[in-house]
Amino acid sequence: MDVNDLWIGDEVMVRSLGIKGVFQGEGLNGNYKIKGKDGKTYEVPAEEIEFPGQSEKPIQVKFPASPSSSKKLIDALNLTDQDLLNPMLMCHEYIQSMMNERKIHCKIVFGDNPDLKSAVAALLRKTPEISLYTPHPDQDAWDVWFDYGSDEEEE
């Protein structure tokens, strides 16, 4: 993993300072901004950024049981689980798996975290197969609708 794989809000550590914080994107002079747990923002070169958990066990995406087990079962991902090391990576992998299965609809729960809500919305906007995403009426979540276009090629 390198700095280009990071999402805003990902947890990182500044090696030389030993400070944990969250990635805030590009800064000045080719450096990157890290907001430390102490509330201060640091600008550091890429080689100073360490990715906590990268050597830990890989993230395993768990999906709901087969849709045949329940007609009301909705494909959903809950990003509010505190055990997630990288919720945006999990979200990206989840969306890819939904597209691989050619799903039409899914739900992504972001909870009461406005930064996570914005980051998920940005990811959804960048995915051309997503035709629409709307706030879920009863939860802090996005209802996501996919459109894969016509299977027939135009002549």
Residues forming beta bridges with residue 13, ordered by sequence position? 20, 50
- Percent of the chain, pLDDT > 70? 79
Is 143 a residue whose pLDDT tops 70? yes
Measure the CA–CA gap between 118 and 89, rounded to whole angstroms.
15
Looking at the DSSP assignment, which residues form a beta bridge with residue 26?
32
pTM of the entire predicted model: 0.51
Instruction: Give the pLDDT confidence score for residue 74 in this predicted structure.
Output: 62
Q: 104, 145 in Cβ contact below 8 A?
A: yes
Please give the structure tokens belonging to residue 112. 């009461």
Surface-to-core class of residue 37, CB atoms within 10 Å of its CB (0-12 exposed, 13-18 middle, 19+ buried): exposed
